[in-house]
Structure 1
Amino acid sequence: MITNLSIIVLTYNEEIHIARLLDNLLKLTSKIYVVDSYSTDATISILESNNILYSQNKFINHSKQINYAIETNPFETTWTLRIDADELISDKLISELAHTLNIYSNSNVNGFYLQRKVVFMSRQLHYGNLNPMWLLRVWRTGEGFCNEKWMDEKIVLKHPNTKQLKEIFFDHNLNSLTWWTNKHNLYSNREAIEILKEKYLKNQSIKEKASNRDLLLFKLKSIYNMFPMFIRPILLFLYSFILRLGFLDGKQGVIWNVLQVFWYRYLVDCKVFEIERVHNFDSQKIVDYLMQLDE
């Protein structure tokens, strides 16, 4: 158990995942704080039966909900870790965290990047675009906040000084493929908004005091967005599936790359085009529309 670590989790109708997650997290610490978006399933009863501290807050987007969790976290610990309800921390990473966080408690290091791999249709994927993905998920309490983005939000440190841990954690969602495609359909709306904000508002949120790794990712996404719409998802698919060896992950790898890398990104482009067309490709009308979203 790590006494100087607290964990924040966001939930909404996570009865399929939450008991599994709690079993996993309680190997790390008992200081678990859940912010729930008014679940209507058994999520709350599972939390209460495990004596997990929680609060409820209306969901607007992940960024605002994460910041609410950070601001209301009642545990006074040196470190904070954020994890999604459908993720799991490997036993090796649990051991590495216990060792590392103790060593760096009194140092000037204030954040740690963890690498996440995807488990899709019961198969762990090893290849393809951004697999593993490096995410800043552990930070010195008081140093981290979430940048204001509708999609692909990041933890930003006031004084970035980070290290990387070796072991991995998993994105292992247990829901059906129908649920997965519905979720990504909704995510594509948010992604389209972020692309339009960068194009018309020159969105700079990730750049403010971001670490070099996140700045690189932001730059890569900006380069991707410079390619022609409807062509760039094809190029990204070819990069992920062929150059990044996504085909080596078998049938699940094929499905993942077709849906996540191509279909999702193609859908985002379709929604960018739709929004621009609805506003007659008028820059000022699109700017007004985007400004209203953040009010």
Structure 2
Amino acid sequence: KHNNYATREAIELLIYENNLTQENHNISFIKAILDKSQRNRFFKNILYKNHLLLLRSCIYFFYRYFFLFGFLDGKSGLIYHFLQGFWYRFLVDSKIIEIKYVAFEKKITIQEAITEVTGYKNFTV
């Protein structure tokens, strides 16, 4: 189940990164302050998507575990934040790397590589 979610998120990030959609990803700072879902999207667009692949999963884990006080939950907090904040994000990044590698090696577009690696033919964000 999480493998499928990670594949879909990798596709979404590649679409965003390569400007393959007409959707407007710009969120005003005022909306980000007032609405929690807009705030999460704002930070994801500004901070998370601009960090290096594989490194951002480490940064995100440390942010969740230390700055959001996940360590106060004990062993269960460590397990939860490791799986949700590190492992899942690492899986998404590894799928992005795999798709980019296939596109580079076979000299095909990102859309074709997404279809070849994941099997998704019609993908939209």
Task: Please tell me the TM-score bracket, short chain as reference.
Answer: 0.7 to 0.9
The 5 Å alignment of 1:202-221 reads 203=21, 204=23, 212=31, 213=35, 214-221=37-44
Higher relative contact order (CA 8 A, sep 6+): 2
Matching residue of 2:17: 199
Larger radius of gyration: 1
Q: Please, what TM-score do these two structures have when normalized by structure 2?
A: 0.74
Q: Distance in 1 between matches of 2:49 and 2:25?
A: 16
| Runs of 5+ unmatched residues, structure 2 | 116-120
The 5 Å alignment of 1:18-167 reads none
Q: How far does residue 252 in structure 1 lie from its aligned partner after superposition?
A: 1.4
Q: Which amino acid aligns with 1:294?
A: F
Matching residue of 1:100: none
Q: How far does residue 294 in structure 1 lie from its aligned partner after superposition?
A: 2.7
Matching residue of 1:238: 62
Matching residue of 2:75: 251
CA spacing shift, 1:196–1:281, aligned 2, 3 Å: farther
Matching residue of 1:272: 96
| Runs of 5+ unmatched residues, structure 1 | 1-182
Q: Which moved more, 1:245-254 or 1:258-267?
A: 245-254
Q: Please, what TM-score do these two structures have when normalized by structure 1?
A: 0.34
Are the aligned partners of 2:70 and 2:78 in contact in 1 as well (CA < 8 Å)?
yes
Are the aligned partners of 2:99 and 2:113 in contact in 1 as well (CA < 8 Å)?
no
Q: How far does residue 217 in structure 1 lie from its aligned partner after superposition?
A: 2.1
Q: Deviations over 1:135-173 (max 9, x none)?
A: xxxxxxxxxxxxxxxxxxxxxxxxxxxxxxxxxxxxxxx
CA spacing shift, 1:287–1:186, aligned 2, 3 Å: closer
Q: Which amino acid aligns with 2:77?
A: G
Q: Distance in 2 between matches of 1:251 and 1:202?
A: 41
The 5 Å alignment of 1:221-232 reads 221-222=44-45, 223-232=47-56
Q: How far does residue 261 in structure 1 lie from its aligned partner after superposition?
A: 0.3
Q: How far does residue 205 in structure 1 lie from its aligned partner after superposition?
A: 5.8
Matching residue of 1:286: 110
Q: How far does residue 287 in structure 1 lie from its aligned partner after superposition?
A: 3.6
Q: Which amino acid aligns with 1:184?
A: H
SS in 2 for 1:272: helix
Moved over 6 A (4+): 281-284
Q: Distance in 2 between matches of 1:241 and 1:187?
A: 22
Q: Superposition RMSD on alpha carbons, in Å?
A: 2.8
Q: Distance in 2 between matches of 1:184 and 1:259?
A: 11
Q: Distance in 2 between matches of 1:187 and 1:266?
A: 13
Q: Which has the higher strand share?
A: 1
Q: Distance in 1 between matches of 2:24 and 2:114?
A: 15
Are the aligned partners of 1:188 and 1:267 in contact in 2 as well (CA < 8 Å)?
yes
